[in-house]
Structure 1
Amino acid sequence: MYDIPVFKTQDSQKVIDFISKHPFAMLIGSNDTNEPVATQVPMFLEFENDRAYLRGHLMKHTTHYQAFEKNPQVLVIFQGPQTYVSATWYQNPHSASTWNYMSVHCKGNIKFLGQESLESILQQTTLHFENGNHDSPTVFNNLPKDYKDRLMKAIVSFEIEVTNMEHVFKLSQNQDAKSFQNIISELKKGDSQAQEIAEEMEKLKK
């Protein structure tokens, strides 16, 4: 990950908010023979006693589950909007084009939890993505008992104590004011991700 101060924020709350907005993350590790494994799952960041934890659930009896049992060290990547930035939009177009993006990397150790924690995480997850609608039939507590019992045999909850958190919010902060504004104008003509990057760039001007 880039360790360039200009592409970072000093406001830790913005990093926390980013994770909350983009909870579907890449969970990466390796097995006991150093073969890489990865899976994508939603996770929630929570703080307890000044420590940060990522919590979620995944399928049992898979290569990544077996790998994480053997080697608990993991990397979690939260990825936000990303888009190409053409150097033709700079005041000096005779330079390298680039890519603007937002990403947070968390490192830590994964630990699998028991059934009570699994029920809590499944309720939290379903309620979150059903926009807090407790009456939704797909919220975990509203599912039929026999279905829940079968479901819980196939999955396991986990928590990751975060030992390191880094981020890159690369939003053309290294460009001059005129080029910066022109990049925003051009990105607004692009797809949804380009437009979202333009919105994030505009926030830097406030």
Structure 2
Amino acid sequence: MYDLPDYKEKNDEVIKQFINDNPFAFISGCDKDNKPIATQIPVFIEEENGKKILRGHIMKNTDHHLTFLHNPNVLVVFTGHHTYVSATWYSNPHMASTWNYMSVHAKGLIKFLDDEALIDILRKTTLHFEGYNKQSSTYFDNVDEAFKQKLMKLIVAFEIEVTSLEHVFKLSQDRDAESYKNIKAKLTEQGGDGEIIACEMEKRTQELFPDSKNQK
């Protein structure tokens, strides 16, 4: 991950919210033969006793489950919207084009949990994705008991104590005010991911260019 000061977020709550908004993360590690393995699953962050903990569940006895049993060191990658940025939008267009994106990397040690913890995680997962509607038919407590018991035999809960949390929110912070304004305008015109990245850039306009006016 690039470790450049221009692309760092000063507010820890913004980083935490980014993780909450993008829970479908890549979790990766290395197996007994030092071959990389990765899977993508929903993961939730919580804080306990001053520590950041990631929790989720995976299928039992798969290659990634066996890998993490052998080697508990994991990397969890949370990614968000991203978009191409053309150098033709800069005040000086004779430069390299680039890509704007937001990403958080969490390193830590994975530990597998018991069935009681699995029930708690499944409750949180279904509640989160059902919009906190406990009346939903897919909320864990409302699912048929026989089906729940069958499901729970196939999956296992885990938690990861985060030992390192790094991020890159690359949003053209290193560009001059004129370029920044033009990039926002071009991305907004695109709609989709471009417009979303432009909104993230707009949130940071005043902090980056406090003496500039009409940056919108």
Question: Under a length normalisation based on structure 2, what TM-score does the superposition of the two structures give?
Answer: 0.94
Task: Give the deviation of 1:191 after TM superposition.
Answer: 4.1
SS state at 1:107 partner = strand
SS state at 1:188 partner = helix
Looking at structure 2, the residues matched to 191 and 159 of structure 1 have their Cα atoms a distance apart, in angstroms, of 37
> What is the aligned partner in structure 2 of residue 127 from structure 1?
127
Looking at structure 2, the residues matched to 198 and 120 of structure 1 have their Cα atoms a distance apart, in angstroms, of 37
> What is the aligned partner in structure 1 of residue 137 from structure 2?
137
> What is the aligned partner in structure 1 of residue 186 from structure 2?
186
Residue identity matched to 1:6: D
Looking at structure 1, the residues matched to 95 and 78 of structure 2 have their Cα atoms a distance apart, in angstroms, of 30
Runs of at least 4 residues off by over 2 Å: none
Q: Deviations over 1:155-191 (max 9, x none)?
A: 0000000000000000000000010010000001224
Root-mean-square deviation (CA, aligned residues, Å) is 0.6
> What is the aligned partner in structure 1 of residue 199 from structure 2?
199
> What is the aligned partner in structure 1 of residue 16 from structure 2?
16
> What is the aligned partner in structure 2 of residue 6 from structure 1?
6
Task: Give the deviation of 1:192 after TM superposition.
Answer: 1.2
1:163 to 2:144 alignment: no
> What is the aligned partner in structure 2 of residue 71 from structure 1?
71
Residue identity matched to 2:111: K
> What is the aligned partner in structure 2 of residue 51 from structure 1?
51
Q: Which runs of 5+ in 1 are unaligned?
A: none
Residue identity matched to 2:2: Y
Task: Give the deviation of 1:34 after TM superposition.
Answer: 0.5
Task: Give the deviation of 1:37 after TM superposition.
Answer: 0.4
Looking at structure 1, the residues matched to 7 and 121 of structure 2 have their Cα atoms a distance apart, in angstroms, of 33
Task: Give the deviation of 1:32 after TM superposition.
Answer: 1.2
> What is the aligned partner in structure 2 of residue 42 from structure 1?
42
> What is the aligned partner in structure 1 of residue 61 from structure 2?
61
Looking at structure 1, the residues matched to 87 and 133 of structure 2 have their Cα atoms a distance apart, in angstroms, of 46
Residue identity matched to 1:199: C
Q: Deviations over 1:118-142 (max 9, x none)?
A: 0000000000000010000001110
Aligned residues: 206
Task: Give the deviation of 1:205 after TM superposition.
Answer: 1.6
